[in-house]
Amino acid sequence: MGKRPPSPDIEKSSYVKHPPPPPFTPPPPEQWCSWVVPLIFAANITMLFTLLRIGVLYVLSGFGGSLMSALSPKPNISVGASGALLGLLGSMLSELFLNWTIYANKCKSVSTLLLIITLNLAFGLIPHVDNSAHIGGFLSGFLLGFILLMRPQYGYVPVGLDIAV
């Protein structure tokens, strides 16, 4: 009563013939870095500095990556957070240079960070991946890291603080 029989056109369509998609499709390798970098490195750097500094750094690095992508000669459309994520890696490298004396195992820190940066930049060689956004985000994060991630060290006197002799 009120229900129509199924249309024979729907039963013959190709929609019914295709199997359903698998429940989980593994992401491509360039997306693994989009998940691993914030989980491991942003959590560590946020413990050292305030969340506001890291948030500003993340947003401005993403803007720098988007700007570099817009200024690149290749006419392509890019979306994603890879410029901002590489900005976090660039800021970690500048923080390592700034606070060099604090680190105990310098060789391990530099080699690990350079390996991760190299792998992320190598993913830019995959077709249809915007490497200019990666480079722009990395450079802006590297430069912003010198401004935002300076930690006072022993013997550091802030500007404007008068020391009585």
Choosing from 69, 91, 134, 140, the catalytic residue is 134
- pTM score: 0.69
SS3 157: coil
Write the CA distances from 99 to 48, 67, 102, integer angstroms.
12, 29, 6
- In order along its 165 residues, the chain shows pLDDT tens digits of 555 555 555 555 555 555 556 666 666 666 666 666 666 666 777 777 788 888 899 999 999 998 998 888 877 777 777 888 889 889 988 988 888 877 788 888 889 888 988 888 888 788 777 888 889 999 999 999 999 887 766 665 566 655 555
Choosing from 69, 82, 94, 132, the catalytic residue is 82
Q: Which long-range contacts (CB under 8 A, 24 or more apart) does 100-109 make?
A: 101/153, 102/151, 102/153
Residue 82 is among the residues annotated as catalytic for this protein: yes
Element housing 55 (H / E): helix 51-71
